[in-house]
Structure 1
């Protein structure tokens, strides 16, 4: 049986795998592409490392075999053992590409924050179960809230008294990462629900820029030259504009979401978020800065127009079709919000 797979390394080169298998074992292998490799003979090492591996080999198994077979003086430019593992897994049908899926896109509609985070869990589990196509959803909301990461300490991150004074609701999401200060119209948030096969064999560090390559394109169309700053910050030459978070579910689905600042009341944010005070304590700007507005300032566009361009870019790149949240999904989100995301047990699970 013949197998073919291709993988473009983020920030690197194209790697192609042409394989032949028999009885569940790789019998012939040819790794090729526009990468650089020295010496020439090292390509034979890589191909030899793949022959004899089972077609069910994990990324770790493939990576280890390539590493062990490469001669010590070998130098790989524009790709690495991880890239070889990923393209082999693609060729064998274990890893998928964007074009392997029929993407859906959900436009923003005002939904309470507790239901927003509940929807993230509901929709991610539907994709994992195969009852929903991979989907991207843009958020909208009317209330004021702080959404903290799954593993953050509530007391360490939020000044509870200040939050109550400003009418800020405290919500914990299922993904890790940092706190999000959210008022109506102050930032842009989207959630991506995908099968884990899309990032098969990828580290979290590599998967962030891979999953958000489309948004870098969208920002470029708006005149914003953005890039990833490891691990999960989206930055421009003028500084950070946003951050990403991820949750990979046990049944093969994943949630990836991003929040980018549009026009944030910095004084209020710093009053509510303890970590915000620490981050700017050495910059002498706690009382001088009134707003944090990177996307508004750098694009000179309305928030709605930015979201429109982002949706248009995603649709063009991945042939996404419009979708909506039906009544049953919304009901499931309301139920999960009531039984989990509005409870003290969940919100203060890390006190």
Structure 2
């Protein structure tokens, strides 16, 4: 059985695994780990292979990582990979985790929708993936109006200046994921959501899964000439400034919602009038001005928003199996029900006052 794991910003780890026994009695009988990583001393690799033999085929990433770490020894230098990365590749080989190439992704460039409906659709589509009623998908959003999207744990009064919001005709909505506030002006942002089964991030921590699910868009940005990097926990940045922020929710039904908002262009003055960005947050980012925290894609590429989106989708399709998709009428109907029951209600929007 064959499994692979490409570490974001690191190397490819490949696991070729043999097992004996059936069901709960199945165990690893042979293991060959390979890849384009570096390892000193090289004798550590056979020891790591041997450490996997005899482990139950159901062994967790944590258990495998512990065995591999002991086998490598305290003096080993693993460069470009880690025992945990090996364990993830092994779990994939054993069929407990999946890779990008195990899936066909619906690619959806959606129509403009009002903010509360966007929040509800994210929830509905993720749950449809978790229930197995649709495959994984990438959805590009279009916004119908000026919006601030706050994280599920943020305080409305701490984040939003009501006078500024009124002056700029802002609709405030709350998403199901955590993270910070996103200032949206139609045509000035690029927002996308990934809806994937949890098997794709099996064995990854939240922080690792952010980097893993954002890795493709870093490649897309580099194709546009932007040296983009992932900045833990959930930012995408370039030497010129922050480009995007991500947020994520894992559902017990077996799905992950990962969504990202990028600045294509930005009215920084309007943003500062609407968002109450605290001094503590600015100082943590090493800057005195919120105006300088974000550097939009338009100024870095000179390209239209439409051309950047087309380039992103082309990059995604060149790396993974994709088909043209759409939000279904049934999903929109479910989302409208949720808007009325939850996402547009004062109780939800002000759940943290």
Rounded to whole Å, the distance in 2 between the matches of 1:278 and 1:160 is: 21
- Please state how far the C-alpha of 1:278 moved relative to its aligned partner: 6.0
- Aligned residue pair count: 347
Partner in structure 2 of residue 295 of structure 1: 297
Partner in structure 2 of residue 195 of structure 1: 197
Q: Please, which runs of 5 or more residues in structure 1 have no aligned partner?
A: none
- Distance of aligned partners of 1:284 and 1:99 in 2 relative to their CA distance in 1, 3 Å threshold: closer
Partner in structure 2 of residue 66 of structure 1: 68
1:97 pairs, out of 99, 104, 124, with 99
Partner in structure 2 of residue 21 of structure 1: 19
1:273 pairs, out of 264, 272, 275, with 275
Rounded to whole Å, the distance in 1 between the matches of 2:268 and 2:279 is: 10
Q: Secondary structure at the match of 2:257?
A: strand
1:200-349 mapped onto 2 (5 Å cutoff): 200-275=202-277, 294-349=296-351
Rounded to whole Å, the distance in 2 between the matches of 1:349 and 1:209 is: 29
Cα pair 1:31 1:43 within 8 Å, conserved: yes
Rounded to whole Å, the distance in 2 between the matches of 1:196 and 1:329 is: 21
1:137 pairs, out of 122, 136, 139, with 139
After superposition, give the CA deviation of every residue in 1:230-267 in whole Å (9 maximum; x if it has no partner).
Answer: 22111111111111111111121001111111112111
- Please state how far the C-alpha of 1:122 moved relative to its aligned partner: 0.5
Q: Secondary structure at the match of 1:338?
A: helix
Partner in structure 2 of residue 108 of structure 1: 110
Q: Secondary structure at the match of 1:55?
A: coil
Q: Secondary structure at the match of 2:63?
A: helix
- Distance of aligned partners of 1:109 and 1:293 in 2 relative to their CA distance in 1, 3 Å threshold: farther
After superposition, give the CA deviation of every residue in 1:271-316 in whole Å (9 maximum; x if it has no partner).
Answer: 1111267656896657xx6996621111111112211111122122
Rounded to whole Å, the distance in 2 between the matches of 1:301 and 1:264 is: 15
Partner in structure 2 of residue 37 of structure 1: 39
Rounded to whole Å, the distance in 1 between the matches of 2:300 and 2:340 is: 39
- Please state how far the C-alpha of 1:76 moved relative to its aligned partner: 1.1
- Please state how far the C-alpha of 1:186 moved relative to its aligned partner: 1.5
User: How high is the TM-score relative to the length of structure 2?
Assistant: 0.92
- Please state how far the C-alpha of 1:46 moved relative to its aligned partner: 1.3
Rounded to whole Å, the distance in 2 between the matches of 1:116 and 1:330 is: 10
- Distance of aligned partners of 1:37 and 1:268 in 2 relative to their CA distance in 1, 3 Å threshold: same
- Distance of aligned partners of 1:110 and 1:257 in 2 relative to their CA distance in 1, 3 Å threshold: same
Rounded to whole Å, the distance in 2 between the matches of 1:269 and 1:278 is: 18
Partner in structure 1 of residue 174 of structure 2: 172
Partner in structure 1 of residue 8 of structure 2: 10
1:113-132 mapped onto 2 (5 Å cutoff): 113-132=115-134
- Distance of aligned partners of 1:80 and 1:167 in 2 relative to their CA distance in 1, 3 Å threshold: same
Q: Which moved more, 1:201-210 or 1:16-25?
A: 201-210
After superposition, give the CA deviation of every residue in 1:188-231 in whole Å (9 maximum; x if it has no partner).
Answer: 10000001111111122222232222222222232222111122
- Distance of aligned partners of 1:284 and 1:252 in 2 relative to their CA distance in 1, 3 Å threshold: closer
Rounded to whole Å, the distance in 1 between the matches of 2:138 and 2:176 is: 17
Partner in structure 2 of residue 76 of structure 1: 78
- Distance of aligned partners of 1:279 and 1:14 in 2 relative to their CA distance in 1, 3 Å threshold: closer
Cα pair 1:264 1:291 within 8 Å, conserved: no
- Please state how far the C-alpha of 1:67 moved relative to its aligned partner: 2.2
After superposition, give the CA deviation of every residue in 1:167-194 in whole Å (9 maximum; x if it has no partner).
Answer: 2111110111110011211211000000
Cα pair 2:5 2:88 within 8 Å, conserved: yes
